């Protein structure tokens, strides 16, 4: 069945298969990388966008924000 | 602990530029939308005719509005994520002023008709060079900051910025390869099929790496910040990044399904487009799930409302894109307004809403105050959302309706709607609704601009903000494993990202250039005559390609309507290719010989005289403006350089050949009761239109020729 699907795609025999294999390689490596990282390190990195500047940034962004906090 | 200061001035500059260009770009879009149901809205003023206005609109929105928005977000987030000021304030300034000077240059040259005609790469070669230089300044600034950083880890947003910087450079340089023929004219190095493939490799990945990856980086920065909690899954963001950048680059050929592009390249484009759903939705879910437990904030923070719609629109657009890339769906959707709906889900929803989200967050921060009016921001939100709906829904409706009408056969096997115009008139009401949608979105943007101006007025700008961080301990190289080790090395990460994106492009582009069978040659296909060449350049100048394709797909509904399907070998002298991507008007590839010369003359003077109800603009200036022929030698030489086989010294006799052919057309016009001057632009345009698609009808080349280059097929009325 898969052979038929690939055949109907036309020219997929070589380029298609090679490129999908390449993709799975990249995907697997990225997956393994992501999964083997220590949670403590990830937690540290995750917090990076939440850091605030020293000066002036205690002011809330909106009026509503002020009310709820 | 070290104390240092972030530069807020460049962020502020980009913020205001974003806002101003956003209003300009959207207004241009609205005017273009109005012209589609009221063609006289161009006031017979050539500089704002649809064909020239459309690239102005797309360039203003993509490069001016979203481009400045992207730089705004990056110049704010990058130094803070690196815990270091930007590498060079001078480069930041070059980036800002250079980029905006380029935009001004675009706003002047596009209406003047200086265009390469390649979508989203219309700007002519001197501006292309300027873009390259400014982009290099940005890239150095980016990497310099990364190298000088105090923070050990590179947050995922920065990877997206790196991928953006490198890939856009690669795309821009490869696609802008052109040979100049004067200061504001150039010919693409590539021809026909190859030009199409390179262009859509660029065009698709401009969407990927200019409109998507930087904005995903910004989402990964601003969404957690606004929600006050870290991203849902950092692991998912790693997989999101690598899978996305690897797959995206392969998907370009889905813009060329059923065209003369080799079948294997089309198949690759389709397969990878479908696979693209996975990383795109991974990223979207990662964004939305970041808000888990913080949805109460969404109700109160307008900024988060905008963000949620942006991320949702991203999800919708990235589900729709792969769907449209399936060949059977594409055979219906391609060339219709469905594509227009799709790109506006992305531009209005994803980029537009995310940009305004950032602005609502940044402006109060930069001016050390709170937002002037939350209520107005909420109005903006609802008006923009309503506007977006009123834009995209009619366009889906119109696109599908028209696509089905094009394909409808009677039981006897004839086209049900053989007159193209009938399918256009059917969707005019939807064009009107679309313009209302666009007006609402623009109204929202004006409310937003007012609100932000008042906010800035009430606050006091802080040119620099202070921050503290410990100096960075240099890596010994043994303290980390796997990705952490990699991510600590920005340059290596950049290198790998570039390899990931380069593979897809290389696999698709190189065989198309090297393998001869991919573009079978046709012996009767010859270069354009001098008059036709200038006519083609006028076709490019007027932006005809924005509404007319020159690519008949091998589908029965198309060959019945337009004639023989287009072959790759027919375009070998087309620098640039003019296949087009939208049929607001009919395909023109086999227009040559279909109508008498006089029909074209009358049609260009007033399309409504030959086709009642037509929405094509009038082109009265073509009838009076003198054809510029001094440029001919330079143009022939440039084309010879890119491989068109004009004989040696052909440019010396080209002028004579041109006059001779023009005379023939004037005589034809006379027999059609039209009195025309032989030295006007219309003559060249008619010569070109009458040549289109006729070469393969010849068993042998036309005999009347000058130095081996055949003159046009003169069609008697």
d(CA B55, CA B108): 12
Q: To the nearest whole angstrom, how far is the Cα of B594 from the nearest Cα of chain A?
A: 34
Listed in sequence order, the residues at least 6 apart from B369 whose beta carbon sits closer than 8 Å to its beta carbon are A59, B455, B458, B459, B460
The predicted structure's pLDDT at residue B140: 96
Interchain pair A36, B267: CB under 8 A: no
| 3-state secondary structure at position A46 | helix
B256-277 tens-digit pLDDT: 898 888 887 888 889 889 989 9
Residue B326: how many other CB atoms lie within 10 Å:
15
Q: Do A42 and B157 touch (CB under 8 A)?
A: no
B364 CA to chain A: closest CA distance, Å?
A: 6
Least confident of B160-174, B280-294, B497-511: B497-511
Does B715 score more than 50 pLDDT?
A: no
pLDDT at B605 over 90: yes
A69 in B contact zone (CB under 8 Å) = no
For A20, nearest residue in chain B (alpha carbons)? B272
Please tell me the number of Cα atoms within 13 Å of B88 on its side-chain side: 15
Query: Taking 60 as the threshold, does the pLDDT of residue B379 lie above it?
Result: yes
Would you say B400 and B338 are in contact if contact means Cβ atoms under 8 Å apart?
A: yes
Q: Please write the tens of the pLDDT for every residue from B662-693.
A: 999 999 999 999 999 999 999 999 999 999 99
* Closest chain A C-alpha to B294 CA, distance in angstroms: 13
**Residues of chain A contacting B369 with CB distance shorter than 8 Å:** 59
**CA–CA dist B335, B551 (Å, integer):** 10
Comparing CB atoms, the residue among B239, B300, B368 nearest residue A64 is: B300
The pLDDT score that the predictor gives to residue B600 is: 97
- pLDDT, tens digit (0-9, with 9 covering 90-100), for B541-559: 999 999 999 999 999 999 9
* B553 close to B565: Cβ distance less than 8 angstroms: yes
Question: Virtual CA dihedral for B341, B343, B345, B351, nearest 10 degrees?
Answer: -160
Q: Which residues contact B403 (CB under 8 A, 6 or more apart)?
A: B332, B333, B335, B336, B338
With residue B420 as reference, give the H or E element that holds it: helix B420-458
| Strand pairing category for B178-180 and B186-188 | antiparallel
| Chain B residues close to A59, C-beta within 8 Å | 364-365, 368-370
Q: How many whole angstroms separate alpha carbon B310 and alpha carbon B216? A: 11
Nearest to B589 by CA among B701, B519, B690: B690
pLDDT of A68 strictly over 80: no
B300 chain-A contacts, CB cut-off 8 A: 62, 64-65, 68
List all residues of chain A from 9 to 38 with a beta carbon under 8 Å from chain B.
9-12, 14-16, 18-20, 22-23, 26-27, 29-37
Q: Does A45 contact chain B (CB < 8 Å)?
A: yes
**Distance separating alpha carbons of residues B401 and B415, to the nearest angstrom:** 15
Indicate the DSSP class of residue B606: -
C-alpha span between B704 and B698 (Å, rounded) = 13
Cβ–Cβ below 8 Å for B268 and A27: no
Copy the structure tokens of residue B609: 């005289």
Q: Taking the alpha carbons of B262, B263, B269, B272 in that order, is the dihedral positive or negative?
A: negative
- Nearest chain B Cα distance for residue A1, angstroms: 17
Residue B488 confidence class, pLDDT cut points 50, 70, 90:
low
Contacts of B63 (CB under 8 A, 6+ apart): B102, B103, B106, B210
Q: Which positions in chain B touch A32 (Cβ < 8 Å)?
A: 482
| Chain B residue nearest residue A11, CA to CA | B264
pLDDT reading at B515 higher than 70? no
Contact list in A for residue B3 (CB cut-off 8 A) is 54
Closest partner CB to A10 (pick from B231, B267, B500): B267
State the SS3 of B172-185: HHHHCCEEECCCCC
Dump the DSSP string for B364-433: HHHTTS--S-HHHHHHHHHHHHHHHHHHHHHHHHHHHHHHHHHH-B-TTSSBS--SHHHHHHHHHHHHHH
Query: Which chain A residues contact residue B330 at CB under 8 A?
Result: none
**A4 to chain B, minimum CA–CA distance in Å?**
14
CA atoms within 13 A on the CB side of B621: 12
* CA–CA dist B456, B454 (Å, integer): 5
Mutate which: B374, B469, B489, B497, vs A, most A CBs within 10 A:
B374
Q: Domains plus CATH for chain B?
A: 530-710 (1.10.760.10)
Q: Locate all alpha helices (DSSP H) within B36-124, ordered by sequence.
A: 50-59, 67-82, 89-112
The token duo for B301 is 């923070």
Mean pLDDT of B135-139: 97
Contacts of A34 in chain B (CB under 8 A): 235-236, 238-239, 483
| DSSP character string of B488-499 | T-HHHHHHHHHH
Model confidence at B249, in pLDDT bands (50, 70, 90)? confident
Nearest CA in chain A to B460: A56
Note if the bond before B576 is cis, omega within 30 degrees. yes
Distance between CA atoms of B550 and B548, rounded to whole angstroms?
A: 7
Which chain B residue shows the shortest CA-CA distance from A60? B370
Sequence-ordered list of residues with C-beta below 8 angstroms from that of B391, at least 6 positions apart, any chain: B341, B344, B348, B434, B437, B438, B441
Nearest to A46 among B3, B234, B300 (CB): B234
**Cα separation of B187 and B646, whole Å?**
15
Query: Does residue A63 belong to the interface with chain B, where contact is any CB pair within 8 Å?
Result: yes
**What's the token pair of residue A24?**
């799975």
Instruction: Count Cα neighbours of A15 within 13 Å in the Cβ-side half-sphere.
Output: 26
Lowest mean pLDDT among A28-37, B19-28, B527-536, B632-641: A28-37
- Quote the pLDDT of residue B714: 38
Contact A59 B369 (CB under 8 A): yes
Nearest CB to B247 within list A10, A23, A45: A23
Q: How close A11 comes to chain B (CA, Å)?
A: 4
Beta bridge mates, B5: B466
pLDDT score, position B689: 97
- Whether residue B227 is predicted with pLDDT greater than 70 in this model: the reply is yes
Q: What is the mean pLDDT of chain B?
A: 91
Q: How far is B69 from B215, CA to CA, in rounded Å?
A: 9
Percent of chain B topping pLDDT 90: 80
pLDDT confidence of residue B520: 74
Structure token pair of residue B297: 């904030």
3-state secondary structure of A11: coil
Residue of A nearest to B468 (CA): A54
To the nearest whole Å, the CA of B467 is away from the closest chain A CA by: 5
Mean pLDDT of chain A: 68
CB-CB under 8 Å, A30 with B242: yes
Q: Which of B186, B147, B279 is nearest to A34 (CA)?
A: B279
pLDDT of B535 > 50? The answer is: yes
Residue of B nearest to A12 (CA): B264
Q: At residue B424, does pLDDT exceed 50?
A: yes
Contact flag B221-A36 (C-beta cutoff 8 Å): no
**3-state secondary structure at position A63:** helix
Question: What's the pLDDT at A16?
Answer: 66
| Count of Cβ atoms closer than 10 Å to residue B610 Cβ | 17
Query: Which residues share a beta bridge with B706?
Result: B709
Contact A63 B246 (CB under 8 A): no
Compute the distance between CA of residue B208 and CA of residue B170 in angstroms, rounded to an integer. 13
Residues from chain A that touch B225, judged by Cβ atoms under 8 A, are 49-50
Contact between B301 and A62 using a beta-carbon 8 Å cutoff: yes
Residues of B in contact with A61 (CB under 8 A): 301, 303, 360-361, 364-365, 370-371
In this predicted structure, the answer to whether residue A7 has a pLDDT above a threshold of 60 is no
Greatest Cα-to-Cα distance within chain A, rounded to the nearest angstrom = 65
Tell me the shortest Cα–Cα distance from A7 to chain B, in angstroms. Answer: 10
**B596 is written with which tokens?**
């008498």
Tokens of B500: 């990931």
- Round the CA-based radius of gyration of chain A to a whole number and report it: 24
pLDDT band of residue B514 (cuts 50, 70, 90) is low
A10-24, B204-218, B606-620, B637-651: segment of lowest average pLDDT = A10-24
pLDDT at B711 over 60: no
Cβ count within 10 A of residue B494: 19
Closest CA to B385 of B445, B301, B297, B468: B445
Euclidean distance between CA atoms B61 and B74, whole angstroms: 18
CA distance A25 to chain B (A): 10
ipTM of the complex: 0.74
CB contact (8 A) between residue B264 and residue A49: no
As a whole-number percent, the residues of chain B with pLDDT over 70 amount to 94
Question: Quick check: B331 pLDDT over 60?
Answer: yes
CA angle (B596, B597, B602) in 5-degree steps: 100
3-state secondary structure B10-34: HHHHHHHHHHHHHHHHHHHHHHHHH
Identify which has the larger pLDDT, B713 or B408: B408
Q: Do A33 and B238 touch (CB under 8 A)?
A: yes
β-bridge partners, B187: B179
Q: According to the model, what pLDDT value does residue B563 have?
A: 94
In total, the C-beta contacts within 8 angstroms joining chain A to chain B are 164
Residue pair B519/B265 in contact by the 8 Å Cβ criterion: no
Per the CB < 8 Å rule, is A19 touching B268? Answer: yes
Residue of B nearest to A9 (CA): B267
Q: How many residues does chain A have?
A: 69
Three-class SS state of B706: strand
Mean pLDDT, residues B112-117 taken together: 96
Buried b (16+ CB within 10 A) or exposed e, B82-101: bbbbbbbeebbebbbebbbe
Q: Which of A16, A23, A60 sits opposite B246 (nearest CB)?
A: A23
Say whether pLDDT at B209 is over 70.
Answer: yes
Using a CB-CB cut-off of 8 Å, the residues of chain B touching A9 are 267, 270-271
Q: Looking at beta carbons, which residues of chain A come within 8 Å of B270?
A: 9
The residue of A5, A61, A67, A68 whose CB has the most chain B CBs within 10 angstroms, and thus the best one to mutate to test that interface, is A61
The C-alpha atoms of residue B473 and residue B487 are separated, in whole angstroms, by: 15
Residues of B in contact with A21 (CB under 8 A): none
Cβ atoms of B590 and B564 closer than 8 Å: yes
């Amino acid at each position: 069945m898969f052979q038929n699907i690939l055949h109907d795609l036309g020219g997929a025999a070589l380029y298609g298969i090679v490129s999908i294999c390449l993709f799975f390689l990249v995907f697997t490596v990225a997956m393994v990388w992501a999964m083997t990282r220590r949670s403590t390190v990830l937690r540290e990195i995750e917090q990076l966008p939440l850091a605030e500047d020293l000066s002036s940034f205690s002011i809330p962004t909106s009026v509503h924000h002020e009310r709820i906090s | 602990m070290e104390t240092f200061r972030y530069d807020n001035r460049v962020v502020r500059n980009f913020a205001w530029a974003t806002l101003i260009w956003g209003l300009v770009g959207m207004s241009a879009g609205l005017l273009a939308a109005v012209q589609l149901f009221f063609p006289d809205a161009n006031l017979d003023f050539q500089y704002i005719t649809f064909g020239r206005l459309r690239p102005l609109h797309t360039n203003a929105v993509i490069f001016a509005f979203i481009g400045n928005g992207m730089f705004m977000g990056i110049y704010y987030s990058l130094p803070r994520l690196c815990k270091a000021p930007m590498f060079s304030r001078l480069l930041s300034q070059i980036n800002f002023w250079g980029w905006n000077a380029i935009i001004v240059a675009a706003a002047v040259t596009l209406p003047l008709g200086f265009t390469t005609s390649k979508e989203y790469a219309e700007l002519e070669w001197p501006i292309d060079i300027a873009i390259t230089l400014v982009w290099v300044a940005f890239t150095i600034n980016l990497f310099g900051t990364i190298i000088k950083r105090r923070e050990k880890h590179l947050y995922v947003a920065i990877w997206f910025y790196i991928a953006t910087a490198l890939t856009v450079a690669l795309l821009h340089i490869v696609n802008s390869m052109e040979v100049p023929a004067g200061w504001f004219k150039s010919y693409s190095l590539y021809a026909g099929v190859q030009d199409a493939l390179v262009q859509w490799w660029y065009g698709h990945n401009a969407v990927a790496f200019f409109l998507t990856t930087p904005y995903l980086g910004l989402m990964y920065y601003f969404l957690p910040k606004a929600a006050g909690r870290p991203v849902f899954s950092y692991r998912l963001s790693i997989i999101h990044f690598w899978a996305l950048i690897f797959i995206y680059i392969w998907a370009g050929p889905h813009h060329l399904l059923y065209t003369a592009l080799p079948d294997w390249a089309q198949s690759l484009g389709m397969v990878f487009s479908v696979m693209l759903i996975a990383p795109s939705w991974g990223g979207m879910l990662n964004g939305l799930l970041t808000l888990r437990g913080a949805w109460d904030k969404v109700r109160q923070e307008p900024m988060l409302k905008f963000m949620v719609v942006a991320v949702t629109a991203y999800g919708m657009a990235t589900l729709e894109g792969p769907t449209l890339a399936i060949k059977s769906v594409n055979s219906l959707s391609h060339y219709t307004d469905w594509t227009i709906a799709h790109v506006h889900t992305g531009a209005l929803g994803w980029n537009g809403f995310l940009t305004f989200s950032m602005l609502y967050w940044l402006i109060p921060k930069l001016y050390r105050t709170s937002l002037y009016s939350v209520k107005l921001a909420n109005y903006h939100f609802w008006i923009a959302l309503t506007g977006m709906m009123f834009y995209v829904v009619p366009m889906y409706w119109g696109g599908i309706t028209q696509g089905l009408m094009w394909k409808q056969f009677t039981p006897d096997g004839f086209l049900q709607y053989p007159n193209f115009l009938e399918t256009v008139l059917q969707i005019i009401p939807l064009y009107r609704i679309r313009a209302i949608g666009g007006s609402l979105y623009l109204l929202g943007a004006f409310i937003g601009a007012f609100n932000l101006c008042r906010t800035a007025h009430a606050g006091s700008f802080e040119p620099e903000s202070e921050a503290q961080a410990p100096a960075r301990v240099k890596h010994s190289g043994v303290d980390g494993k796997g990705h952490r080790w990699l991510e600590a090395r920005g340059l290596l990460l950049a290198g790998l990202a570039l390899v990931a994106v380069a593979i897809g492009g290389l696999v698709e582009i190189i065989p198309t250039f090297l393998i001869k069978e991919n573009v079978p040659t046709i012996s009767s296909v010859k270069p354009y005559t001098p008059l036709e060449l200038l006519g083609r350049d006028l076709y490019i100048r007027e932006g005809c390609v924005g509404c007319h394709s020159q690519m008949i797909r091998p589908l029965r509904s198309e060959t019945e309507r337009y004639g023989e399907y287009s072959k790759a070998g027919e375009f070998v002298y087309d620098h640039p290719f003019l296949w087009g991507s939208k049929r607001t008007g009919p395909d023109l590839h086999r227009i040559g010989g279909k109508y008498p010369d006089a029909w074209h003359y009358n049609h260009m003077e007033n399309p409504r005289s030959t086709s009642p109800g037509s929405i094509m603009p009038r082109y009265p200036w073509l009838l009076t403006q003198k054809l510029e022929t001094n440029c001919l030698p330079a143009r022939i030489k440039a084309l010879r350089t890119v491989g068109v086989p004009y004989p040696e010294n052909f440019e010396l006799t080209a002028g004579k050949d041109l006059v001779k052919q023009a005379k023939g057309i004037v005589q034809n016009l006379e027999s059609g009761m039209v009195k025309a001057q032989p030295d006007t632009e219309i003559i060249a345009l008619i010569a070109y239109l009458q040549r289109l698609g006729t070469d393969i009808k010849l068993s042998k080349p036309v005999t009347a020729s000058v130095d081996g280059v055949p003159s046009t097929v003169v069609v008697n009325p």
